[in-house]
Amino acid sequence: MLPEQSGIYYVVDEEFIIWYVGKAKNLRNRWRGNSHHRIFQLQRQRKKQFLIYYELVDESLLDLIEKQRIGEYSPQLNGTIVKNKIFRPTETLLRETLTVIAPYSFLIGIEDPRQEDQKFVEACLSTGEEWRVKKSVISLQVIHIGINFKWFPSSDIKIIIRFLKSIFKHRHNFSNNWINQGNKKIENDGGLFFNRRLLVNGVAIEIHRIDSEVVEQIKEYKLVKLAGVDIRCLDEISIDLLKSYCSMSRASIFISSSENQYNYQLVFKQAIKRLNAYSKDIVQIQKC
């Protein structure tokens, strides 16, 4: 582990060839995550294994020593132009996705942070539903969106799922992406569509398949905005209806049975009972 001190660092391959020399006021922070401006140039050298060596140097001497070391070793990357990888904001991904799926979907409701309901958290952890209370999402409000397969022009489930997978696939150059909360192999083999989740501007968005029997119980929708995009939304009466009759698994929202209520099935019912009516757009859009 690099020290939290000032110094000169050397990026060296397995043949002890120095590829880059740089300076840092805090060596550990300089190489934290993928934040270094040369990281993509180094990653493109797929056949190379790199290590970071360093020498501690007083902050006042960093410029002088760095210049001396570059002159001494003539590293390959020093002096080359850095082509930065530009990441697009996650809100753009959300807006693009909503624009495509809006004709086939509706906003169900909004959920308070799950960490505020310790009994629900404990129930999730004890029934294999850990995906609901991951560290990345447990402190966030969650907006739930349902996709109705009956609204698609095709009735072929395979075609619909193939279309949805193309929409929710990993997109390069976005700071966050839609994450499949289920098992991809089971999804592929079973013709299923598992919950997708996106973290954007301090809010979690979760996408669910809605069984047709559930949609038939909904009589009216209102039009709201999410991230500035128009989308249908349930009112309080419809949400109360879902809370009474439905359950929410990672595979779908469905009308639940009163029989054979195992612990994990109780979690499915608890999950949908936590929903509240959506009233305003809480996904803030960054202004250019």
More confident residue, 70 or 37: 70
- Pick the closest to residue 250 from 233, 231, 265 (CA basis): 265
Check residue 163 and give its pLDDT. Answer: 94
Tally of residues, the chain: 288
Q: How confident is the model at residue 33 (pLDDT cuts 50, 70, 90)?
A: low
How far apart, in whole angstroms, are the C-alpha atoms of residue 139 and residue 134? 9
Q: How confident is the model at residue 286 (pLDDT cuts 50, 70, 90)?
A: low
Instruction: Give the pLDDT mean for 36-47.
Output: 82
How far apart, in whole angstroms, are the C-alpha atoms of residue 36 and residue 51? 14
The backbone torsions φ and ψ at residue 272, rounded to the nearest 5 degrees and listed phi first, read -80, -25
Instruction: Give the pLDDT mean for 64-87.
Output: 84
CA contacts within 13 A on the Cβ side of 121: 13
Computed on alpha carbons and rounded to an integer, the radius of gyration of the chain in Å comes to 25
pLDDT of 32 above 50: yes
Check residue 226 and give its pLDDT. Answer: 96
Residues 144 and 272: beta-carbon distance below 8 Å? no
How far apart, in whole angstroms, are the C-alpha atoms of residue 250 and residue 265? 12
More confident residue, 246 or 185: 246
State which H helix or E strand residue 109 sits in.
strand 105-111
Instruction: Give the pLDDT mean for 63-80.
Output: 92
Check residue 187 and give its pLDDT. Answer: 84
pLDDT of 287 above 60: no
Token pair for 157: 């489930």
Check residue 288 and give its pLDDT. Answer: 41
- Pick the closest to residue 198 from 277, 114, 136, 270 (CA basis): 136
Check residue 50 and give its pLDDT. Answer: 92
User: Sign of torsion, CA 107 110 113 119?
Assistant: negative
